[in-house]
Amino acid sequence: MEHVTQQLNQLLTRDHAVELDRQSPLASRRELFDLPDGVVYLCGNSLGALPRSVPDRVAEVVRREWGAGLVGSWNSADWTNLSKRVARRLAPLLGVQGEDVVVGDSTSVTLFKTMVAAARLRPDRKVIVVEPTTFPTDGYVAAGVARTLGMELRWCDPADPAAAVDDDVAVLALTHVDFRTGAMFDLAAVTAAAHDAGAVVLWDLCHSTGAVPVELDAVGADFAVGCTYKYLNGGPGSPAFVWVAPRHQAQLDQPITGWWGHARPFDMVQEFEPAPGATSMQVGTPPVLALSSLEAALEAFDGVGMDELRAASLSLTDLFIALVDERLAGFEVVTPRDHARRGSQVALRHPDAYGIVQALIARGVVGDFRSPDIARFGFAPLYVTHADVHDAVEQLVAVVENEEHLDAAYSARKPVT
Ligand SMILES: Cc1ncc(COP(=O)(O)O)c(C=O)c1O
């Protein structure tokens, strides 16, 4: 028994963490990011770190394409196809084809237009199902869509969302990885169960894409939406994507019929005629600066295997959980220990979670707080190392041992927690 404990202790040393980093096939990727010295960044599930490729690319677009090229850059710099180029880069991360992906609006707007389009595929059904612990915007948008279309909103049991799907349900809208707990649904199984009941499924992949691989085509999914500023590192407020299964595209009828979703936007005709395929999900003029930042950021994924990404993510979260178990009392690991049910973050429940996160930030370890009592740590596998994980837990232990979190300075809530 003592021998086993000794072995476990060796596995939890900093040297072992450094060795795991040395062996990682993603080891060289961290160099692609501009992280401040002395900071352990465990908040890439909120805002991804800055890829080194981004500043020069954005500066070039601003100075040369916008400044010198002016309006001509829509043609000469191919701004009109920028969104399509970004979609092609995203496709392998989603297990889909680039032509079925559209990028351009915020996640909330994209959720709205996609949820309406999904509901319109089942015009005889009047219910949208959402789970009560979903990210607030998903619930708010679902309520708005239900009101707009004269439908009803039904809350499901997060333990078994498909159980709420009966003959009345048009759409089941779920977040694949829960923003608070990091718990992950079985995307394939839930999709299949909802299909058996005749519904379509809209997946929110905000906390998956770039850290947790999905195979949307292979599992026969319907719709997926996701942001690009978390694990994809597109920058604050970078635009969201939507993927539409090819089999639904001929019937696609989304509600924000803007001119960029028209079959021939520059014909400027009076009648709206939707563009073929997923392109009709486009709405208005694409955000060129934000898309340029995202396009450059996605280069960090070039040549990365999805299995490698997932293995690195699980190795980091496994180590974090093991160290918390070993070194800290009074914290509940809320995130599932089962790999099949875990995203790329670990959530710790503690009554003083807010103060703990603030005190940790003061020590250079950046996580965040989610109401009411969750300290949340994201492990972006491209740039978080096992040594980071080790150091973060060391700092967490120090905060608690020194009771730094009880300092009044750390109890004042900031606008963004
Ligand atoms: C699951 C989920 N959906 C949606 C959003 C945000 O939507 P938006 O990009 O419109 O702010 C977030 C933001 O963190 C999220 O976690």
Q: Please give the Cα distance from 176 to 183 (Å, whole number).
A: 8
In a domain, 147, yes or no: yes
Domain of 220 in residue numbering reads as 54-301
Give the CA angle between residues 245, 249, 251 to the nearest 5°: 130
Mean pLDDT to the nearest integer, 43-70: 98
CB 328 within 8 A of CB 350: no
Interval between CA 221 and ligand 1 midpoint (Å): 20
Question: How many independent structural domains does the chain possess?
Answer: 2
Give, using CA atoms, the residue closest to atom 6 of ligand 1. Answer: 107
364-381 burial, b if ≥16 CB within 10 A, otherwise e? ebbbbbbeebbbbbbbbb
CATH (domain of 79): 3.40.640.10
Judged against a pLDDT cut of 90, whether residue 417 lies above it is answered with no
Domain co-membership, 290 together with 385: no
Domain co-membership, 142 together with 212: yes
Domain co-membership, 261 together with 159: yes
Question: Of all atoms in ligand 1, which is nearest to the CA of residue 109?
Answer: 10
Q: What is the pTM of this model?
A: 0.96
Task: Give the mean pLDDT of the chain.
Answer: 96
Determine the 3-state secondary structure of 243 from DSSP. strand
Judged against a pLDDT cut of 80, whether residue 359 lies above it is answered with yes
Listed residues 301, 317, 341: the one ending a domain: 301
The preferred substitution site among 46, 112, 137 for testing ligand 1, maximizing ligand atoms within 8 Å of CB, is: 137
Q: Ligand 1: which residues within 6 Å by Cβ?
A: 106-108, 135, 137-138, 175, 179, 204, 206-207, 227, 240
Listed residues 270, 301, 332: the one ending a domain: 301
Q: Could you give the dihedral angle defined by the CA atoms of residues 22, 182, 364 and 319, in that order, rounded to the nearest 10 degrees?
A: -40
Interval between CA 44 and ligand 1 midpoint (Å): 13
> What confidence tier does 2 reach under pLDDT thresholds 50, 70, 90?
low
Mean pLDDT to the nearest integer, 371-395: 97
H/E stretch holding 102 reads: strand 101-103
Domain co-membership, 280 together with 309: no
In a domain, 123, yes or no: yes
Judged against a pLDDT cut of 70, whether residue 133 lies above it is answered with yes
**Which stretch of 220-234, 362-376, 402-416 has the lowest confidence by average pLDDT?**
402-416
> What confidence tier does 7 reach under pLDDT thresholds 50, 70, 90?
low
In a domain, 43, yes or no: no
Q: Rg of the Cα trace of the chain?
A: 22
CB 262 within 8 A of CB 317: no
Judged against a pLDDT cut of 60, whether residue 68 lies above it is answered with yes
Domain co-membership, 250 together with 312: no
**pLDDT exceeding 70 applies to what percent of the chain?**
98
Domain co-membership, 259 together with 221: yes
DSSP character at residue 349? E
Mean pLDDT to the nearest integer, 8-24: 89
Give every CB contact of residue 298 below 8 A, 6+ residues apart in sequence.
86, 89, 90, 232, 234
Interval between CA 115 and ligand 1 midpoint (Å): 15
Can you tell me which residue has the tokens 């869509």?
A: 145
Domain co-membership, 164 together with 129: yes
Domain co-membership, 212 together with 239: yes
Give, using CA atoms, the residue closest to atom 8 of ligand 1. Answer: 107
**pLDDT exceeding 90 applies to what percent of the chain?**
94
Catalytic residues: 135, 204, 229-230, 376
Question: Of all atoms in ligand 1, which is nearest to the CA of residue 108?
Answer: 10
Domain co-membership, 139 together with 228: yes
Domain co-membership, 181 together with 154: yes
CB 306 within 8 A of CB 344: no
In a domain, 357, yes or no: yes
- Angle, helices 136-149/107-119, rounded to nearest 10 degrees: 40
Q: Please give the Cα distance from 323 to 329 (Å, whole number).
A: 11
Judged against a pLDDT cut of 70, whether residue 51 lies above it is answered with yes
Interval between CA 235 and ligand 1 midpoint (Å): 14
Mean pLDDT to the nearest integer, 25-42: 96
Domain co-membership, 297 together with 346: no
In a domain, 313, yes or no: yes
Mean pLDDT to the nearest integer, 254-271: 98
Can you tell me which residue has the tokens 């490729």?
A: 53
Question: Of all atoms in ligand 1, which is nearest to the CA of residue 227?
Answer: 9
The preferred substitution site among 135, 138, 230, 376 for testing ligand 1, maximizing ligand atoms within 8 Å of CB, is: 135
pLDDT of residue 15: 95
Domain co-membership, 68 together with 168: yes
Interval between CA 65 and ligand 1 midpoint (Å): 30
Give, using CA atoms, the residue closest to atom 14 of ligand 1. Answer: 46
pLDDT of residue 62: 98
In a domain, 103, yes or no: yes
In a domain, 39, yes or no: no
> What confidence tier does 64 reach under pLDDT thresholds 50, 70, 90?
very high
288-316 residue pLDDT tens = 999 999 999 999 999 999 999 999 999 99
The preferred substitution site among 115, 174, 179, 208 for testing ligand 1, maximizing ligand atoms within 8 Å of CB, is: 179
Give, using CA atoms, the residue closest to atom 7 of ligand 1. Answer: 107
CATH (domain of 366): 3.90.1150.10
In a domain, 45, yes or no: no
The amino acid occupying position 204 is: D
Listed residues 301, 322, 340: the one ending a domain: 301
H/E stretch holding 325 reads: helix 306-327
Interval between CA 103 and ligand 1 midpoint (Å): 15
The preferred substitution site among 227, 232, 374 for testing ligand 1, maximizing ligand atoms within 8 Å of CB, is: 227
Judged against a pLDDT cut of 70, whether residue 3 lies above it is answered with no
Give, using CA atoms, the residue closest to atom 9 of ligand 1. Answer: 107
Interval between CA 308 and ligand 1 midpoint (Å): 26
Question: Of all atoms in ligand 1, which is nearest to the CA of residue 106?
Answer: 10
